[in-house]
Amino acid sequence: MASEAVTKGQAGPWADEQIELLERMLLIRHAEARLAQTAKDVGLPGGVHLSIGQEASAVGVCSCLDVDDWMTSTHRGHGHFLAKGGEVDSMFAEIWGKSSGICKGMGGSMHVADFSRGIIGANGIVGGGLAIATGAALAAQLDGKGRAAVCFFGDGAANQGVFMESMNVSSIWKLPTIFVCENNGLSEFTVSSTVTAGKLSDRARAFGMPVEVVDGNDVRAVRSAAKAAVERCRRGEGPSYIETVTYRIHGHLEAEDLILAGGSYRTAAEIDAWRAEDRDPVSRFRALLAEEGICGADRFAELDQRAKEKVDAAVTFAEAGEPADTKLVFELMFVEPKA
């Protein structure tokens, strides 16, 4: 699917929307760059999995969602959380293991959630969000309010049985589920093509749902596909599958070099090719908006600085917080039944 057509110098609400997309992508980029640096310098609790290079996928999809639409994420979920409207302050505090975190420091990097914004959980289990999103879609169908349920997952998760099961039940019951496969060609420390037969999109087609395979580094292309899928959900027309072809610049996790002991499953040339300005999602969108007269150098510098300041403030907030109260671990595990 191609990007949306624009008129050079176009202003008004549409241009404001484009600026908002860029601003959200910048926040994700700076937040994760700071996490990478912190993990390297002083360490962070637990594993830290970054999505640098995949920002357009998260922002393009989540920009089409309402606050009360549901979303599940993955172990690589910081970008999804921020794209759906999560606060960077509380997310950082969560990653730092502080009681001021969005999950009171009990979830950490791989389990950020904010039910008040429809973010019903990232998940450390590969493919773990697929069935949860499908259940949320069933609940959305039953409440009749036109909600959609988005499930982000990677190409590695598409080899889990729950992927097929979730698509099957979503298709049979015409649930408002949007399956978003972020295909970065990598499954942990393995090149996905060596362990995956055929095209992932053909698996979705077999269940009779609409399928879109898009350039996952083009935020407009992603947004266009997501907008159509959300509209189908609102009309009660059932599930959709979107595959965003993208790439993660960082390793599977920030301790990857230690784990691989100097080995690698990809080349530096490959990483550099995806990092180039004409492929990097943030650089591409910045250049496009400049060409269209929507965001010049001065405005970009302002947006970039604002994102950096938000991240700086989030670090200060996280570091100042009290450590998580481990006595709450069982109390927070269960929900009191409603009378």
Is pLDDT at 8 greater than 80 in this prediction?
no
Domain range summary for the chain, segments of one domain joined by +: 13-319
Contact 247, 183 (CB under 8 A): no
Of the candidates 279, 207, 304, the one whose C-alpha atom is nearest the C-alpha of residue 56 is: 279
Q: Residue 337 carries which DSSP code? A: P
Crossing angle of helices 88-95/297-320, nearest 10°? Answer: 40
pLDDT digits (tens, 9 = 90+) for 172-225: 999 999 999 999 998 888 889 888 999 999 999 999 999 999 999 999 999 999
Contact 55, 248 (CB under 8 A): no
Instruction: For the domain covering 13-319, report its CATH number.
Output: 3.40.50.970
**196 CB neighbour count, 10 Å cutoff:** 18
Instruction: Work out the mean pLDDT of the chain and round it to a whole number.
Output: 94
For residue 177, what are the β-bridge partners?
Answer: 149
Strands (E), 81-191: 149-154, 177-183, 186-187, 190-191
Contact 100, 93 (CB under 8 A): yes
- The predicted structure's pLDDT at residue 1: 47
pLDDT digits (tens, 9 = 90+) for 251-283: 888 887 778 887 889 999 999 999 999 999 999
pTM exceeding the 0.85 threshold for the entire prediction: yes
pLDDT digits (tens, 9 = 90+) for 62-111: 999 999 999 999 999 999 999 999 999 999 999 999 999 999 999 999 99
pLDDT grade, residue 11 (50/70/90)? Answer: low
- The CA distances from residue 326 to 62, 142, 174, 182, 323, in Å, are 33, 37, 42, 34, 9
pLDDT grade, residue 12 (50/70/90)? Answer: low
Chain-centre distance of CA 92, in angstroms?
16
CA–CA dist 187, 269 (Å, integer): 19
